[in-house]
Amino acid sequence: MVNRMTKVYMRRLLGQDDARISFGVNVMAARSIFLQRASYFEQGVTMYWSVETMIVFSFADHERMLDTLHPAMQRGNCEIRRFANGELFISVRTPAQMEHCVVLGSVAPPDERLLSLALLSHTLKKDGSRKVTLFLPYLAYSRQDKEKPGESLATAWVGSILQASGVDEVLTIDVHSESDKHLFPISLVSIYPAEIFANTVMKYQLTDATIVAPDNGAIPRCKAVSEALGRSATGIPYFQKQRNETGIKRSDMFGSVGSRVLIIDDILDTGATLISACEKLLQTGATEIYIMVTHGLFTGPDWKKLWSLKVQRIFCTDTVPATKEILDERRITILPIGQLIKEHMALLRDIAVNR
């Protein structure tokens, strides 16, 4: 069945009426509906968009994901370099006029990524691209989503930069919060890899583990994985988290857990959130802990303390390119999201055919 994220995405791309057609069918059936609308009439002339109307540009860090795309999608060619004075310069070698262009990349540090992405998007729109979609597997700056006097609101700032650069929409994997969507001035669509996580739970025989949310924000993620496993999504055990100047203060657990525990969250950065959660879980009697996150940043050395807190294995997707250290760590399992990207890019392509 088409999941909730896909429904929202289709509604935004197609309009309310067209999206409603596909809600009761699977993705393949939905595509056949779209393909029946492959032409339109303008001033008495029938015009057809070929499957090559979607051109995909990728930055170096994400080129590995291009292999998952439909072979009919045209790969864009561009050059990014700097002048002698340090200024960025982009040359687009694939004609973009009246085309739907998709850019696969990142806005995470170093800052050159954001600038290059913005400049490429601006260049494509300047050359007449009818639509520019960014596919950012990991949306950096998404945790700076709280309005506080005297402090930056970087989520809104990034959205404004992208909008000013001609970007029409952003597609990402597991955005940090619903607040991000409200702060973005352009369409922001988030896809959650619940089925990938559920399949991993079954593959590693973790179906008897208690799924735990390390804070309130992770509860919807835990529910999505539970539903994908065919479990009840009610009564997910969770902690309440508060940050202070000395770190993270965590409440006692709401709910009960068994000896085997699976923590599900969106990001493993320095590991502070997960470390404090594991410390509390050990106090409740947990003896075997597994961690499953969408984005593995693995910043600094502190996250390694998890191994001393009964953590047996960490699962994360490949939304963030892994370093050699992470790839060499046998207790970390990288879960490819290529199939997920392929499905949603195919949906984008089929919609482009019918526009």
Domains annotated on the chain, with CATH: 51-192+339-353 (3.40.50.2020), 194-336 (3.40.50.2020)
> Which residues are CB-neighbours of 82 under 8 A, at least 6 positions away?
88, 89
Q: Would the pTM count as exceeding 0.75?
A: yes
Can you give the pLDDT at residue 73? 79
Per-residue CA distances from 84 to 87, 88, 90, 91 (Å): 8, 10, 14, 16
Can you give the pLDDT at residue 15? 39
Q: How many angstroms separate the CA atoms of 81 and 197, rounded?
A: 38
Can you give the pLDDT at residue 87? 97
DSSP 76: P
pLDDT along the chain (355 residues), means of 10: 47 39 32 35 32 79 77 86 97 94 95 97 97 96 96 98 98 96 96 97 97 94 97 91 65 87 98 93 95 98 98 97 96 94 76 59
Q: What is the pLDDT of residues 276-298, one digit of tens each?
A: 999 999 999 999 999 999 999 99
Can you give the pLDDT at residue 66? 78
Can you tell me which residue has the tokens 């208690």? 210
Secondary structure of residue 144 in the 3-state scheme: coil
Can you give the pLDDT at residue 60? 86
Can you give the pLDDT at residue 238? 94
Rg (CA), the chain: 22
Dihedral (Cα; 287, 309, 175, 134), 10-degree rounding: -120
Can you give the pLDDT at residue 344? 81
Amino acid letter for position 167: V
Can you give the pLDDT at residue 51? 41
Catalytic machinery residues: 241
